[in-house]
Amino acid sequence: EDQVTQSPEALRLQEGESSSLNCSYTVSGLRGLFWYRQDPGKGPEFLFTLYSAGEEKEKERLKATLTKKESFLHITAPKPEDSATYLCAVQDQETSGSRLTFGEGTQLTVNP
Amino acid sequence: GAVVSQHPSRVICKSGTSVKIECRSLDFQATTMFWYRQFPKQSLMLMATSNEGSKATYEQGVEKDKFLINHASLTLSTLTVTSAHPEDSSFYICSASAWAGGWVAYEQYFGPGTRLTVT
């Protein structure tokens, strides 16, 4: 059974204070690892897809990296508008179609 | 690109009535659509998977007669909550799956969600 564990559950940062969110996963065979951002009362917004260990992707202040067991979402010099819940999900090669297994999310708060 | 819409965004209905939620992929054809339910401060809970032209696959514990899913085309799926009760009040989110290209992976794009309140 696929498992995704995100840590920490909640993170408070001061504006400009860089940090990382962790996503540990267990799958039979990784087809893809996905990061989403979710604002309160809204649907998740797609950020990144990572496919293989060593891969990195960047978008503005966010950088996602992937190893064989975990993924990190690095936030550099965050701003208050980066406050949101960040969700990690995996897609298993053994699962038909595009089903995702989600972690519980990390709630990020960036104070001005 | 990859925009998914949901309608309505909020709905209030009386106990015992039915309510329909629409999910549309606006700029791509989705081979598969998913319906999730989300409780406050919790992650997404997958309710069912639907493929165009075939019956939906429901997750364990989800009543298929209560949550009717129709995937009539490659751009439209609907969720009907039948005989709604207060415990069905929740945030319902759909997603549509699109081929990511290159590597063998499908990306899921989510709608904005529908807040259902049953009184």
**With contact defined as beta carbons under 8 Å apart, do B17 and B11 qualify?**
no
Tell me: pLDDT of B5 over 70.
Answer: yes
Higher pLDDT, A39 or B2: A39
> At residue B98, does pLDDT exceed 90?
no
Banded pLDDT at B99 (limits 50, 70, 90): low
User: If pLDDT is split at 50, 70 and 90, which confidence band does B27 have?
Assistant: confident
Per DSSP, the three-state class of B10 is strand
Percentage of chain A with pLDDT > 70?
98
Beta bridge partners of A48: A35
Q: Are B22 and B3 in contact (CB under 8 A)?
A: no
Contact with chain A for residue B57, Cβ under 8 A: no
**pLDDT level of residue B89 (50, 70, 90 thresholds):** very high
Q: What is the mean pLDDT of residues B72-84?
A: 93
Q: Taking phi first (over 0 means left), then psi (-120 to 50 degrees means alpha), and beta for anything else, what does residue B2 get? A: left
Q: How far is A97 from chain B (nearest CA, A)?
A: 8
**Least CB–CB distance from A105: residue in B32, B43, B113:** B43
Chain B residues touching residue A43 (CB < 8 angstroms): 4, 6, 93, 95, 110-113
- Using a CB-CB distance cutoff of 8 angstroms, which residues of chain A are in contact with residue B105? 31-32, 49, 51, 91, 98
Place of tokens 């009717």: B68
